């Protein structure tokens, strides 16, 4: 009698359970968020806040790259909501600083304009407050013609640069014959 061989036994192997692997995109997003959070404490200028907003946006982009099939997808979605709030806050801080800077510039321009106007008003007051003999009197000629030399006319405030057709133009006052008498 022949010895029967035992039937072949299939050995069952336990399924291999993979440890959850954190995706590179998730790790990258976490690293960017950690670095960005540290920068918030020292941010002062609108450029600082713009850079922080850009970093939050980069972290959001990394989280968006995590596929639905990844074990990190659920956590990534939670972080997306959090990082979006952080991004919005950084943008609002940047806008607030830019508005304050614009307001400060406008205030400086208004103050400079006021100083110019004040300086102009002071100069006008000083000119008007000079002694009367310093100002030239304006004399209107009766009948148009005023007798005297060009020097006399200027002293009386009648004017200069008379041309043919003007009552005060004469060839005697136009010494160089160029058509302009009592040239200034």
Q: What confidence tens digit (pLDDT) does each residue in 73-119 have?
A: 899 898 888 989 989 999 999 999 889 888 888 888 888 888 887 77
List the CATH number of the domain containing 100: 1.20.58
| Residue 86 contacts residue 56 (beta carbons within 8 Å) | yes
CA-CA-CA-CA dihedral for 167, 170, 175, 180, to nearest 10: 40
40 and 117 share one domain: yes
Claim: this prediction has a pTM higher than 0.85:
no
> Three-state DSSP class for 61?
helix
147 and 121 share one domain: no
75 and 153 share one domain: no
Separation between Cα atoms, residue 62 and residue 30, nearest integer Å: 9
Residue found by looking up tokens 């790259």 in the block: 65
Q: Which helix or strand (DSSP H or E) is residue 105 part of?
A: helix 73-128
Residue found by looking up tokens 């997306």 in the block: 80
Has residue 64 got a pLDDT over 70?
yes
Q: How many residues does the chain have?
A: 184
Has residue 65 got a pLDDT over 50?
yes
What percent of the chain lies above the pLDDT cut of 70?
A: 77
Query: Residue 83's CB: how many other CB atoms inside 10 A?
Result: 24
111 and 181 share one domain: no
Has residue 62 got a pLDDT over 90?
no
> Three-state DSSP class for 131?
coil
Residue from 138, 131, 136 nearest 158 by CA: 138
> Three-state DSSP class for 51?
helix
The reply to whether 5 falls in a domain is no
Has residue 40 got a pLDDT over 70?
yes
State which residues form the domain around 38: 24-128
Higher pLDDT, 102 or 17: 102
The reply to whether 34 falls in a domain is yes
Once rounded to an integer, what is the mean pLDDT over residues 140-165?
A: 79
Once rounded to an integer, what is the mean pLDDT over residues 112-137?
A: 66
The reply to whether 2 falls in a domain is no
145 and 62 share one domain: no
110 and 54 share one domain: yes
| Residue 160 contacts residue 182 (beta carbons within 8 Å) | yes
Spatial neighbors of 40 by CB under 8 A, at least 6 apart, are 52, 90
- pLDDT of amino acid 167: 84
The reply to whether 61 falls in a domain is yes
The reply to whether 10 falls in a domain is no
| Residue 141 contacts residue 167 (beta carbons within 8 Å) | yes
Both tokens of 125, joined, read 């007051």
Q: Round the average pLDDT of the chain to a whole number and report it.
A: 79
110 and 162 share one domain: no
């Amino acid at each position: 009698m022949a010895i029967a061989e035992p039937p072949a036994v299939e050995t069952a192997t336990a399924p291999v359970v993979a440890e959850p692997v954190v995706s590179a995109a998730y790790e990258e997003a976490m690293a960017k968020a950690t670095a960005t959070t540290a920068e918030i404490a020292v941010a002062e200028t609108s450029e600082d806040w713009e850079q922080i907003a850009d970093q939050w946006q980069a972290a959001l982009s990394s989280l968006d790259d995590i596929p639905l099939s990844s074990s990190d997808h659920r956590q990534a979605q939670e972080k997306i909501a959090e990082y979006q709030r952080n991004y919005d806050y950084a943008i609002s801080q940047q806008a607030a600083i830019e508005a304050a800077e614009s307001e400060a510039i406008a205030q400086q321009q208004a103050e400079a304009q006021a100083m110019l106007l004040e300086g102009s008003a002071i100069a006008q007051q000083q000119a008007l407050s000079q002694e009367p003999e310093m100002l030239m009197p304006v004399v209107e000629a009766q009948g148009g013609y005023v007798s005297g030399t060009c020097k006399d006319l200027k002293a009386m405030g009648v004017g200069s640069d008379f041309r043919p057709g003007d009552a005060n133009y004469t060839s005697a006052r136009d010494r160089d014959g160029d058509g302009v008498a009592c040239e200034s």
